[in-house]
Amino acid sequence: MNFRPLLLLLLLFTGCGAPKQTAPQFNSASQLKPPLPELPSMEWSGRAFGTTYSIVITSPPPAVKQDDLSAAAEKILQRIDKQISSYRDDSEISTFSAARSTEWFAVSPEVVTLVEEARSISEKTGGAFDITVAPLVRLWKFGKSRDALVTPALPSDDAVNQARQKVGYTKLETRRDPPALRKSDPELSVDLSAIGEGHAVDAIGDAFEALGISNYLIELGGEIRARGQSPHGRAWRAGIERPSLLERELECAVELKDMDLATSGNYRNYYEVNGTRYSHIIDARTGRPVEHTLAAVSVIAPRTTYADALATAMMIIGPQDAMALATREKVAALLIVRKGDGFEVRATPESEAIRVKD
């Protein structure tokens, strides 16, 4: 759905913010230390939501078959795609957005839950994060309307103000029984891309745990849910890349056990006009692309859905407000901020316990 900085699912040995004179070699920890014994595992990958996913299960229950698990995961992904994809005209959310009615519109319970979770993040950011921002995204020529080969003309102030009139999470209502959505403005549209991948990861993880699977890692588009132990008999490790268009360079590594990781960044999906960079990250309060120095953010939290939405929200509000939000929410967060020609890492105290130092 939205671009996420690439996560390196390796057994990384470096710590966050380590000085680098050249691009590091992505060696595994086993090259530096005696290898840990391998536990039985199963692993597979695929494509969904316009991106890739990978799944690793450690010490699976004897009765569990990989083909059955793979089929179950695919079924969940297809169900969620049918519910919330903004690239499918027949999805529930696309159909709701296209409807020019202010009556209640029946949707799946999952969609109602996602909208309510997104509204919670909107309230915590003063409306900066807003799942009804699609008219502004289209106006600035991102999303489905983006043509990477064409530099678009910048919208006028009047056009921005007109599009802002069609945006506002407070214009969207939810009902749980029976599950439905309602908009007070018939022009309102909803895009759940900023929370959908995290939700899909959680849905697969919940299904696995219902089958008695307690050791696994699920990664979809850079969003990760990690439970139990890796095939090496320890917590899972993931590396977070330094923002770069030219090469893969490791910024830091984190250790995950029964925690989820989501990332968001603005350093690849952008265009330039007259020397000014315009990012795909749109602040619904201003109607314009963000202009702050935050390049990427990673959030570690108990649920991927929450981490996914919070990471996007932090990218919208900028480094100072993002750090304050993470502190209030008591979540581990790593912010990569532009500083001169380079970057600096800012971290919450909660992240210190999971940053890899060895």
Residue 347: helix, strand or coil by DSSP? Answer: strand
Question: Mean of the pLDDT values across residues 229-241?
Answer: 91
Please tell me which residue, 350 or 163, carries the higher pLDDT value: 163
Q: Is residue 103 part of a domain?
A: yes
Percent of the chain with pLDDT over 90: 69
Q: Is residue 268 predicted with pLDDT exceeding 70?
A: no
For residue 312, being part of any structural domain is answered with: yes
Domain membership of residue 357 (yes or no) is no
Is pLDDT above 60 for 347? yes
Number of domains in the chain: 1
Task: Collect all residues with Cβ–Cβ distance below 8 Å to 207 and sequence separation of at least 6.
Answer: 72, 73, 76
Q: Are 183 and 172 in contact (CB under 8 A)?
A: yes
Model pLDDT, residue 65: 96
Asked if the structure places residue 254 within a domain, the reply is yes
Give a yes or no: residue 269 inside a domain.
yes
Residue 2 lies in a domain: no
pLDDT score at 274 = 79
Of residues 253 and 59, more confidently modeled: 59
If pLDDT is split at 50, 70 and 90, which confidence band does 357 have?
A: low
Per-residue pLDDT band at 10 (split at 50, 70, 90): very low
Instruction: Kindly provide the residue ranges of all beta strands, DSSP E only, lying in the chain, ordered along the sequence.
Output: 7-8, 41-48, 51-58, 105-106, 172-176, 179-183, 216-220, 223-227, 236-241, 250-256, 259-265, 270-273, 276-279, 282-283, 288-289, 294-301, 332-339, 342-347
CATH number at residue 287: 3.10.520.10
- Answer yes or no: is 206 within a domain: yes
User: 27-31, 132-136, 333-337: lowest mean pLDDT where?
Assistant: 27-31
- Per DSSP bridges, beta strands 105-106 and 288-289 are unpaired
**pLDDT greater than 60 at residue 12:** no
Lowest mean pLDDT among 5-14, 135-144, 166-175: 5-14
| Arithmetic mean of pLDDT, 49-68 | 95
Q: Are 305 and 212 in contact (CB under 8 A)?
A: no
Q: How many residues does the chain have?
A: 358
Q: Has residue 235 got a pLDDT over 70?
A: yes
Cis peptide bond upstream of 152, omega within 30: no
Q: What 3-state DSSP class applies to 222?
A: coil
308-325 pLDDT tens trace: 999 999 999 999 999 999
* Position 289 pLDDT exceeds 80: yes
With both helix axes pointing from N to C terminus, report the angle between 109-124 and 304-317 in degrees, rounded to the nearest 10: 40
67 is in which domain, residue-wise?
7-352
Q: Among residues 352, 239, 345, which one has the least CA distance to residue 295? A: 345
Ramachandran angles phi, psi of 192, nearest 5°: -100, 20
Between these two residues, 356 and 6, which has the higher pLDDT value?
Answer: 356
Among 76, 84, 164, 174, residue whose Cα is nearest residue 120: 174
- Looking at residue 92, the DSSP 8-state letter turns out to be H
**Distance between CA 159 and CA 134 in Å, rounded?**
14
Mean pLDDT of 207-230: 96
The structure tokens listed for 186 are 């018939």
CB-based contact 307:348 (threshold 8 Å): no
Please indicate whether residue 114 or residue 222 has the higher confidence score (pLDDT).
114
Please enumerate in sequence order all residues whose Cβ is within 8 A of that of 77, keeping only pairs 6 or more positions apart, or say none: 48, 49, 53, 200, 204
Q: 235 lies in a domain?
A: yes
Quote the CA–CA distance of 199 and 88 in Å, as a whole number: 18
